Copies of this chain bind each other. A is one copy, B any other.
């Protein structure tokens, strides 16, 4: 299966005597040379035709294209990239795919990159800093044209690699910290604060938090910090808190909610670190006949599409995922107005959607 190193000259001279059957020899993988011999021009001209660069006469162009198509030639980007010092890949490094939130960021990125000739390549870290470091190393070794990476927290080595890479780096999702190069995202601290303020303004006083255990989900952590900060400012503090890790988020939301409401019956508001567990909690409350938002209010975070399908709309904050992807890609592609310089921090502002689960 591997390309065998049989001597080229002999093989070729007897293999393609300018005959025209469709697919002459499906053995060795084809090179520019094969197309060049099949069409009677130099490799360079073939290269020009296939990349649509430089002047080539129409007749030659057609002859080359026909030959390439007939042979089923697929260019070798490895060689091309090495020679031209140009790689049309953008490394995208994210913590998870099963999260609903990152696929949407990806959509924003893909859409924007679509007509730039750039191609996103995804790496997944599972929220592990070490894994992030090795994924980054691996991707940088392919010399991408840019890096889009989630979060501002990385290992020291990863920071160093990013700083040294000599390509545009965009850290996304979060702006509470100092980026290596550019950053696009929202302030999770502010988002937590805002939600707390809205909750307090609505008159809730006995507030519980339900969220992920993950020590490396810095954004969830920052939201909670902002949230508690605002509570403190109002002279309040969390009445209860519950954490989980792994499993079906919807189910966990249900279970955690039951646990909290049983343990702390005085609780009148449930703040969830994401919409999925929030939805689980909401379904639980509705199922139990709890008056939402009268007796208990709820809020999540992210603004996932899923919420539209629930019986009543969960309060949430849109995390601007699509736009984050778009702007990050624009910066990499050099299409962003302010991204031409690099080193920008672009803050987006999530909108609070009170839905039907906060009274007032």
Contact = CB atoms under 8 A, between A and B. Distances in A.
Interface of A: 1-3, 23, 26-27, 29, 72, 74-79, 81-82, 85, 87, 97-98, 100, 103-104, 106-107, 110, 119, 121-122, 124, 137-138, 140-143, 160-161, 163-168, 247-254, 279-280, 283, 287, 305-311
Nearest to A82: B78
A246 B351 CA distance: 24
Nearest to A167: B1
Contacts of A137: 74
Contact of A142 (B26, B77, B306): B77
Given A98-B104, A164-B26, A309 B250 contact: yes
Contacts of A165: 29, 74
29 contacts: A1-B166, A2-B85, A3-B166, A23-B160, A23-B164, A26-B164, A74-B141, A75-B141, A76-B82, A77-B143, A78-B81, A97-B97, A97-B103, A97-B106, A110-B124, A121-B121, A121-B122, A122-B122, A247-B305, A247-B308, A248-B306, A248-B307, A248-B308, A248-B309, A249-B309, A250-B305, A250-B309, A283-B283, A283-B311
A166 B29 contact: yes
Contacts of A23: 160, 164
Contact of A254 (B72, B81, B309): B309
Contacts of A311: 283, 287
A252 B163 CA distance: 46
Given A78-B143, A248-B306, A98 B87 contact: no
A145 to B, nearest CB: 9
A85 to B, nearest CB: 6
B251 A309 contact: yes
A161 B71 CA distance: 10
A307 B248 CA distance: 8
A74 B97 CA distance: 27
A283 B77 CA distance: 50
A279 B308 CA distance: 13
Contacts of A122: 121-122
Given A72-B161, A122-B122, A250-B306, 15 more contacts: A1-B168, A29-B143, A74-B140, A74-B164, A76-B143, A78-B87, A97-B97, A97-B103, A97-B106, A103-B103, A248-B307, A250-B309, A251-B309, A253-B309, A287-B311
A311 to B, nearest CB: 5
Contact of A308 (B76, B79, B250): B250
A137 B50 CA distance: 13
A207 to B, nearest CB: 23
Contacts of A142: 77-78
Nearest to A124: B110
Contacts of A26: 163-164, 166
Contacts of A283: 283, 309-311
B85 A82 contact: no
A57 to B, nearest CB: 26
Given A248-B308, A253-B309, A138 B163 contact: no
A170 to B, nearest CB: 14
Contacts of A160: 23, 72
A287 B82 CA distance: 61
A287 B287 CA distance: 10
Given A98-B107, A163-B26, A166-B3, A250 B77 contact: no
